[in-house]
A and B are shown apart, each in its own frame.
Chain A
Amino acid sequence: MRRQVTIDGNEATTYVAYRTNEVMTIYPITPSSTMGELADAWQAVGEKNLWGTVPLVQEMQSEGGAAGAVHGALQAGALTTTFTASQGLLLMIPNMFKIAGELTSTVFHVAARCIATHALSIFGDHSDIMAARSTGWAILFSDSVQEAMDFALISQSATLRARVPFIHAFDGFRTSHEVRKIEELTIDDIRAMIPQEQIHAHRSRALSPDRPVMRGSAQNPDVFFQAREACNSYYSAVPGIVEEEMNKFAAITGRQYHLFDYFGAPDAQKVIILMGSGAETVEETSAILNEAGDSTGVVVGRLFRPFSVEHLLKALPASVRSIAVLDRTKEPGAVGEPMYQDVITAISEGLSAGTAPFTSMPKVIGGRYGLSSKEFTPAMVKAIYDELGKAKPINHFSVGITDDVTHLSLPVDATFSIEPPDVVRAIFWGLGSDGTVGANKNSIKIIGEETPNYAQGYFVYDSKKSGSMTVSHLRFGPRPIRSPYLIQSSNFVAVHQYEFLDRYPVLDTAAEGAIVLLNSPFDKDSVWATLPRPIQQIVIDRKLKLFVIDALEVARKTGMGGRINGIMQTCFFALSNVMPRDEAIERIKYAIKKSYGKRGEKVVQQNYRAVDETLENLYEVTTPFQITSDRELTASALVGASDFVRNVTAEIIAGRGDNLPVSAMPVDGTFPTGTAAWEKRNIAVDVPVWEEDLCIQCGKCVLVCPHSVIRAKVATPAALENAPEGFKTAPAKWREFGDSRYTLQVAVEDCTGCTLCVEVCPAKDKSHAGRKALNMAPQRPLRETGARDWDYFLGLKDIESSSQLIRFNTIKNAQLLQPLFEFSGACSGCGETPYIKLVTQLFGDRTVIANATGCSSIYGGNLPTTPYTRNSAGRGPAWANSLFEDNAEFGLGIRISLDMQTEFANQLLASQRDTVGAELADSILNANQSDDAGIAAQRERIESLKKALTARDTPEARDLLALVDLLARKTVWIIGGDGWAYDIGYGGLDHVLASGKKVKVLVLDTEVYSNTGGQASKSTSRGAVAKFAAGGKASAKKDLGMMAMAYRNVYVAQIAVGADDAQTLKAIREAEAYDGPAIVIAYSHCIAHGIDMSKGLSQQKLAVDSGAWMLYRYDPRRAEEGKNPLQIDSKAGSIPLADYLYSEMRYQMLRQSNPDAAAVLLEFAREDVANRWQEYSTKAAPWPEPAAAQ
């Protein structure tokens, strides 16, 4: 008897991969990271594979490294695999050619994901798989979670027989992250499929000095070609082998697959051919259309490479008249996308050879769908079948978008829906922080594993790391659910946050008579009057049943804080009747025990209490449903916004991005900056309020604010004459500003409520020690006045960095500078963003940023908006993200490009010296641009030059005009996290630092891969628990700074703003000023540390005080003065290391899960710290005076 399990595609795949391999080399990349994490977690607890050994899971520094290690492990005979996606797969391609060329059995499991082109996208399509199709690997595609498990096994058994390596692919997110009830293969099933003699054969081909051979030779024109053809028979055999393995699998499990499976009418005239999760949607829709009298069918491709013409032709019905081949990828410039081309070729060959089931060429059209996880719905399928029925269907069409430029998109009837009536279709709108998704995953498990019902869950998240919204789509029903698309028509809608009613179309999918569950601070009698008018209208029109609970109050009473998940889950079971109430509550409690039991009884009891107190607080709203409200849904005012922001950005913010046509989008991925200011997310419950009488105007709050929502300016009394009533100011505590006034303002609508500003504020009320110059207060009552004051504040003049009035070498002064990085979607309390903001304050108007992929590229560049912005002169950081692995090289390229063009501009100016005016030309050519004043003066001269050149209008003048802005100094900052700097990009970073070029590197060191969910990097400190280091990292943290210092001509600094903000400012300014390469390594507290983020700055201080994080600056300029370039800016541990480590969950959890290992690693960690101090202290010893040296 096989178990029914509810798991996602990643787990289904890893279940088989883990059991059928001995070595796994891994590297995190979305959406495949989970597979490596599961493998690592299982090996950490000693889970065994088919042969009774615990597989070895090895994290590598990149996917390129993972592929190299796979190659080596295979050459040495171990059964080896890896997991990857997208750019990761691309990095593996060089090795993949080799592995295939050497006919080596292995399977790479790929959660297929979009490749970055005009933009990065973490979502699913087949562009990565298609990019790898020429490597010589077999490609087997799964359509669903069940198939992901099944095909992981079939590909493994087939590769061992065929010797051709396999990519086992499935759709990223849609399959990798969809949770479904499936039948789990037993160990016996797996064993029966894995041929022992083939494993022996695999091992016998391994490199061994006991039977030495050589592989990887270099060959010449005489034999290479023949040798390349020598593998042909192996490829010819693959389709037959896969077919046999599928048949064998069917005999064992009852699930029969074919290389191409046909579903639909036996006499279908219209057929769609495709691969991946969309196939289920087509199957479902085709069946419904056929029931209604249509004649449609679908061919589901499984084995894409080697492409079997014979099997495709066999699958097609002889009746077919028109075929649409769907590709989930785009290949610009090609005749058509890959699958389309293969099908055309196959049919053509079949007709020529007489093996086709028909005698004349059917109409074959190709189409693209679902790029970057774009929804692929039954309505779109119907649109394709409708198109196939036309005399002249559009070829190379797209579906799911509106192409108003090349007019290739198919019209879709959005009202077409095939949701079956006997399926519970529930949508839950929640916040990331309220636990909605976690509870829904539990609900799916309860229903899927404790009842005969089938279950499916898919979860949609926005791109923000703070205040993020989640939408859960859950289906439950008596038959297997095969609907891999979002719920189109829901009979249950839960709105877990009342505020969503005003902001999102939460009831748009509600079917007539659906149940709506609302978490509301208003009770059953008063809530109706509080609803926005459009919501009331939908409730009335669709005869919805409305239930309310004040879940936050129940959570508060039961000690659950803001986690309302269990409460809302209980309400769902009570209202949806998926199972009897009492049984549901019993099951929920069982799930609580299972999920949280090991975290302690207190946690379990607290959750139980919340569940127990839920139902008595759940009420149906019975007040008469009549329109009583005139409140419309919230829309941003967008005063002064550009057309692009108004027509594009605002639509994406509002959740209507799917409706934007092709013409709305930039053709090359170029977007305006300064757009985050339009979001006004209003996510903070509490915001800081300034007490001007207490403030000492130190600027620390402005410095540490991760979202640039708290800012200071100094304005003359005249400038403040029209200030709104209540606009707070205080006499400016600067001698230089005379009688001007200081004002500190908070962008209450952009604040995330992290409280770092309050934490850092040093000013306390001497009569009330608990009151500071900044105190948190509820945001809602402050919203309107706060927004008004903020708008006025923005209109006050910013001090310019070229100002001669004050120097910007202190925090107090520097924090008057305008940040050109604001309102990012980073985590509330983020430890990285204050550093980026500071760089933009100091140098933003002349900076080009090369940004490695990671957290900083997501909060820096994930649509809908970017936090990078411009000053009043229109200048600001120009920002680009190339890849994860190449960021240093990318930045170097920008640097040398700017240098080259500047050189050319100088040359052009010198050659036109006499015509533009010798004095002007010389002043530009000889300008001192070592500081901001010099740069400002140069910009003014350039303006004069522009006028002179414009007036001349000669070809030479136009040449110079095109480059003239480069005559003002430009800075290149290369920004990325430790995953980039220490691991995947280290080789490039090392090379770039060695180049001697004037690039500035900012490493935002969180000591872990933060963006992909906390995997260990080489920056992770010893003893910290991270994914891929579940047992605590056993090796010491890499000393990146020391490695950079080895070059002697690189400026190196290590900083931590929470420990010493003055040193942070000094280091960043020195790095910028240094006439050569510079690297600044910045301690960045992170949510992945398991800390209270509001105490992030204190954690930084603990790290420094314990000696774990040293502050230092290595300035090669000092050597020229006969001084030691290295200066240590912090003191050796003034607190015990353990006091720091065990204040963070990343260390503490090892003490709780494996205290013996924690004790050992703590000792090693102490040694690490002591040794590092010894090394640095020795290296920083003062150099002897020249005389003394003699």
Chain B
Amino acid sequence: MDLTTQYMGLELKHPVLASASPLSKTLAGIKRLEDGGASAIVLLSLFEEQLAHDSLALDYFLSVGTDSYNEALSYFPEASSYEVGPDKYLDLISGAKSNCTVPIIASLNGISRGGWTDYATLIEQAGADGIELNMYYLPTNTSITGAEIEQRYLDTLSDVLAAVKIPVAIKLSPYFSSTANIASQMAREGARGLVLFNRFYQPDFDLEKLEVVPSLELSRSYDMRLPLHWAAILYGHVPVDMAITSGVHTHLDVLKCMMAGASVVEIASELLHNGPGRAQEIVDAMASWMAEFEYESVRQMQGSMSQIKCPDPSAFERANYMKVLQSFQTAAIR
């Protein structure tokens, strides 16, 4: 059984990757993910904001109250150095490269143009096999247009591509006016992978305290529908490898993703729930299913259910939406 696949130009032994999660925060965790069977590992994101925040917080708290009162001109001893830059993350990359055989994909989550390119260069120098750009940008400013946001994404991608030679994937938001168009532009710009999709932070409310509280729910299989849908639509139209993330929990989920046209899946919630060894279990179950249904390879099925290859292309379009609504009404009447 040939489970191999290609993603971002990287040859992988199977399509199940470990997605960016707390599991890839330490070298020991990365090793567990490799031992658990992941074919490549996307590291936990390097957050430019976090680095800036750490740096400013350190400076603030070491400075506050100093040189104000003559018995206490400072409140802390100065250490010879602090881990406030990307060094720890870069060490993690080089450590992972030295200790693992699977490809290591760094994840970069940034806000400023300078930050993206500087860190991308450092990540490449540290030995990463690829970079996943996580463009987590939530436009709350009412004066910014959709076109401006798209241009910002493209500019950032362009900057990073100019700075590094390793393949770059981009993790997209599902909330573009024209997802197909922006995906296509990304591919034209030189992205080697599209990761579908980013899961936005959506806070919750505490009704008694009248407070907004941070909340992060792990994904469920249902969450896969949206990326599955878009992978099927984009496949064959956009010349780029696709990864589906969000909601991939079982071998059946993986098979669906492959058939929609994804090259790989990135799994996090399932591994967090059931341990890194779950990756190999999914791959094994997938192989069994493929044997049972007489598939020879993953590549054979990739895109088989995409819009351009499926028996009913309208199933991915508005007509299908109408059908769904009608079926709901029918069910309700019954």
Contacts and interface: CB of A to CB of B under 8 A. Distances in A.
Interface of A: 30-31, 33-34, 37, 40-41, 44-45, 122, 173, 177, 431-433, 435-438, 441, 459, 461, 463-465, 468, 470, 563, 596, 598-603, 606, 764, 766, 769, 827, 858, 1010-1014, 1025-1027, 1030, 1087-1088, 1090-1091, 1145-1146, 1148-1149, 1151-1155
Given A599-B82, A600-B56, A1090-B61, A1149 B76 contact: yes
Contacts of B72: 1010-1014, 1088
B63 A563 contact: yes
A30 B55 CA distance: 31
Give the secondary structure class of B's interface.
loop
A1012 B75 contact: no
B291 interface: no
Contacts of B69: 432, 461, 463-465, 468
Given A437-B67, A769-B210, A600 B79 contact: no
Contact of A827 (B65, B67, B80): B65
A1012 B71 contact: yes
B85 A461 contact: no
Contacts of B61: 1090-1091, 1145, 1149
Interface string B73-101: 11111111111110010000000000000
B238 interface: no
Listed residue (A459, A470, A602, A1010) with the most chain B CB atoms within 10 angstroms of its CB: A602
Contact of B67 (A432, A602, A1025, A1152): A432
Contacts of B81: 598, 1153
A432 B68 contact: yes
Given A435-B63, A769-B210, A1026-B76, A602 B71 contact: no
Given A599-B62, A1153-B83, A1013 B75 contact: yes
5 contacts: A599-B62, A1087-B65, A1090-B76, A1149-B61, A1153-B82
A438 B65 CA distance: 11
B59 A1090 contact: no
A177 B69 CA distance: 13
A443 to B, nearest CB: 13
Given A435-B67, A764-B210, A1152-B58, 11 more contacts: A30-B70, A437-B73, A468-B68, A598-B80, A1011-B71, A1012-B71, A1026-B76, A1149-B62, A1149-B79, A1151-B83, A1152-B84
Question: Which A-B residue pairs are the 8 nearest by beta carbons?
Answer: A432-B68, A600-B55, A1153-B79, A1013-B72, A437-B67, A1145-B61, A600-B84, A1014-B75
Interface string B33-48: 0000000000000000
B118 to A, nearest CB: 9
B324 interface: no
B52 A461 contact: no
A122 B70 contact: yes
Contact of A601 (B63, B85, B210): B85
Contacts of B54: 600, 1152
Contacts, number: 152
A599 B84 contact: yes
Given A470-B67, A600-B85, A44 B77 contact: yes
B205 to A, nearest CB: 9
Interface in B167-206: none
Contacts of A1088: 65, 72, 75-76
Contact of B52 (A431, A463, A470, A602): A602
A1102 B211 CA distance: 18
A691 to B, nearest CB: 15
A438 B63 CA distance: 9
A1087 B65 CA distance: 7
Listed residue (B54, B77, B85) with the most chain A CB atoms within 10 angstroms of its CB: B77
A433 B67 CA distance: 8
Contacts of B300: none
Given A599-B82, A603-B56, A1153-B82, A1087 B75 contact: yes
B58 A599 contact: yes
Contacts of B77: 37, 40-41, 44, 1025-1027, 1030
A41 B63 CA distance: 18
A433 B59 contact: no
A600 B115 CA distance: 13
Contacts of B64: 433, 1087, 1090
Nearest to B49: A602
Interface of B: 51-52, 54-59, 61-85, 88, 210-211
Contact of B79 (A435, A1010, A1014, A1030): A1030
Given A1149-B58, A1153-B81, A600 B75 contact: no
Nearest to A1011: B71
Contacts of A464: 69
A437 B66 CA distance: 9
B58 A45 contact: no
Contacts of A1148: 57-58
Given A1146-B76, A1149-B79, A1153-B79, A600 B59 contact: yes
A1012 B210 CA distance: 41
A766 B63 CA distance: 39
A1011 to B, nearest CB: 6
Contacts of A858: 71
Contact of A459 (B67, B80, B211): B67
Contacts of B76: 1014, 1025-1027, 1088, 1090, 1145-1146, 1149
Contacts of A468: 68-69
Contact of A45 (B52, B74, B75, B80): B80
Nearest to A1146: B76
Contacts of B88: 1155
Contacts of A596: 59
B164 to A, nearest CB: 20
B55 A603 contact: yes
A11 to B, nearest CB: 12
Given A1014-B76, A1030-B79, A1153-B83, A1145 B58 contact: yes
A606 B64 CA distance: 17
A1159 B82 CA distance: 15
B51 A602 contact: yes
Listed residue (A599, A606, A1090) with the most chain B CB atoms within 10 angstroms of its CB: A599
A599 B59 contact: yes
Nearest to A601: B85
B74 A1152 contact: no
A603 B54 CA distance: 10
Contact of A603 (B59, B65, B211): B59
A1149 B85 CA distance: 14
A1108 to B, nearest CB: 19
Contacts of A1152: 54, 58, 79, 82-84
A600 B82 contact: yes
Contact of A602 (B55, B82, B210, B211): B55
A432 B67 CA distance: 6
A1149 B71 contact: no
Given A602-B56, A1025-B77, A1152-B84, A438 B70 contact: no
A917 to B, nearest CB: 55
A611 to B, nearest CB: 16
A1139 to B, nearest CB: 13
A1027 B66 CA distance: 14
A602 B80 CA distance: 18
Contacts of A1145: 57-58, 61-62, 76
Nearest to A40: B77
A951 to B, nearest CB: 53
Contacts of A563: 63
Given A769-B210, A1154-B79, A600 B65 contact: no
Contacts of A598: 79-82, 84
Nearest to B57: A1145
Nearest to B82: A1152
Contacts of A1030: 77, 79
Nearest to B74: A1013
A362 B68 CA distance: 48
